[in-house]
Amino acid sequence: MTFEPESIHSDLIDALSELRTSALETEDEFAGSIERVHPKYRDSARNLAHYLALRRSDVRELQDELHFLGLSALGRSEPCVLSTLTNVIAALKCMMGEEYIAEEPVTTTVNARTGPMYLSDHARTLMGTPNGERSARIMVTMSNEAATDPSHLLELVRSGMDIMRINTAHDNVDAWKAMIDNLRAAEQQTGKKCKVYIDLGGPKFRLGPMDRVRVRKGDVIRFAKGLHGYACDLRSPSEETILLSCEPEAVFDAVRVGDPLWINDGKVSSRVIEVYDDGFAVEIIRTKHGGAWLRAEKGINLPDTPMQVDALTNDDVQHLEQLGHLADIIGMSFVRSARDIASLFNQMERLGLTDRGVVAKIETQDGFEHLPQILFEGLRHPPFGIMVARGDLAVEIGFERLAEVQEEILWLCEAAHVPVIWATQVLEGMAQKGIPSRAEVSDAAMSVRAECVMLNKGPYIVDTVQFLSDILHRMAEHHSKKRSLLRKLSVSGVRQDLVTE
């Protein structure tokens, strides 16, 4: 876009009007998806369509010109796109001494007041009201201690936990039910409410049974289909190649020469160099200095490999049958498409669980790329939310892109008025060792832009919940999503008692 000084207002109005028309046309493009959304959430679906239209163009030069004129530069338009465009056009017309009357009918009630209100209401419906004076909730992953020690749950609820997360990849159904019983007892003693989040494990991409083995850059590993566990170090006298198994078997049918394969949360990087009938071989490209140890059940990621794997496994369905009636929220792992969410909804309908909330975990390249379709599908059966599972997501998309991608997820979800859970390694050092790093504190402060923040288990988790609650309370006075709140500062020149002659 190029704007000439002598006709700057007219040029800006034309550009904005074109964006507004495009937003309405995109609403027509997604008409089928919008029509299938729950009636109370259709305005949110329309706003998502408008936002997708806005982000199809590079509007940075337009934003600069609007900023110079002291008008909204569209940078905080996520919750109310059409209203923002209309208001800025009207302001420009007013500056020219003209009145603006839009020709196209407005199809939505979303505006600068109702948009954020919709998001807040949707978050409250899904996650409840936060304990304490903060806008974001705190979710805590349960350790086995939560099943055996009722006082542990009591401390967590008193410290500010809003949502209990049960990871069905660990423990068993008896332990999970004991955790929930202890939580309900803690609620009665404290008078505080806490939601139960059941996290379905999804398909497990991991190394199979094996002996521990060290690998270094340049090593070659062969994966064999049907192998039940064998590993031999390259540096042993036999000079044999390291031979491993992995799950699921679908990996063997999908992998291609050149595909990257990451092991153990990205700590080991490799690339497929050969594919044969009953297996494939990879070369280690990068590890930490001195090499890395591989162990059974360490996770693997194949970000560029097209996988045909159902996100909802037989184990997930069984866990849903066992725990669904005790849950407030069901979390679905490794969501790659709208089809995965539809599959979960079908099972929930079969089990009479349609009044429970659902959260889709975005932790794969496919999940991120299909996020708009996932959001439209999720809004068919609210309440619905998104978890940014930053651990696997960083490995899938590349660590250097994580900050950018998590921003885009926050923007898209805000446009759909869908609440977000900020997850993975938040204050991990403090939960494990009792003291946070400076980087962890900064990360925790940034998480205030989400509607919920997830902590993992650790021996110092109660202190960590209290610490995070204090950070979220303080940061809520400064930030609301991307918008800075101009709270009175406590520095010299603002506080009169600090001003010196």
DSSP secondary structure, 141-159, as one string: EPPTHHHH-HHHHHHHHHH
Token pair recorded at residue 223:
């994966």
The total of other beta-carbon atoms located within 10 Å of residue 3's CB is: 16
Eight-state DSSP code of residue 341? H
Q: What is the largest CA-CA distance in the chain?
A: 88
Using DSSP's 3-state secondary structure scheme, residue 393 falls into helix
Q: Which fold has domain 119-203+310-484?
A: TIM Barrel (3.20.20)
Per-residue 3-state assignment (H helix, E strand, C coil) for 254-269:
HCCCCCEEEECCCCEE
43: left (phi over 0), alpha (psi -120 to 50) or beta: alpha
- pLDDT of the chain, 501 residues: tens digit per residue: 665 655 678 899 999 999 999 999 999 999 999 999 999 999 999 999 999 999 998 999 999 999 999 998 898 999 999 999 999 999 999 888 887 776 666 667 899 999 999 999 999 999 999 987 888 999 999 999 999 999 999 999 999 999 999 999 889 999 999 999 999 999 999 999 999 999 999 998 999 888 888 999 999 999 998 776 555 655 554 445 788 889 888 899 999 999 999 998 889 999 999 999 889 999 999 999 889 999 998 999 999 998 888 899 999 999 999 999 999 999 999 999 999 999 999 999 999 999 999 999 999 989 999 999 999 999 999 999 999 999 889 988 988 999 999 999 999 999 999 999 999 999 999 999 999 999 999 999 999 999 999 999 999 999 999 999 999 999 888 777 776 555 554 444 444 455 444
Say how far apart CA 48 and CA 54 lie, in whole Å: 10
Alpha-carbon torsion (232, 233, 234, 235), positive or negative: negative
Eight-state DSSP code of residue 131? S
Tell me which of 2.40.33.10, 3.40.50.2300, 3.40.47.10, 1.20.1290.10 is the CATH number of domain 206-301: 2.40.33.10
**Cβ pair 305, 272 in contact under 8 A:** no
Give me the pLDDT at residue 103, please: 65
| pTM, 2 dp | 0.90
Instruction: Please report, for the chain, the start and end positions of each structural domain, with discontinuous segments joined by +.
Output: 5-112, 119-203+310-484, 206-301
Say how far apart CA 436 and CA 257 lie, in whole Å: 42
Say how far apart CA 206 and CA 30 lie, in whole Å: 38
Eight-state DSSP code of residue 187? H
Per-residue 3-state assignment (H helix, E strand, C coil) for 213-247:
EEECCCCEEEEECCCCCCCCCCCCCCCCCEEECEE
Give me the pLDDT at residue 1, please: 62
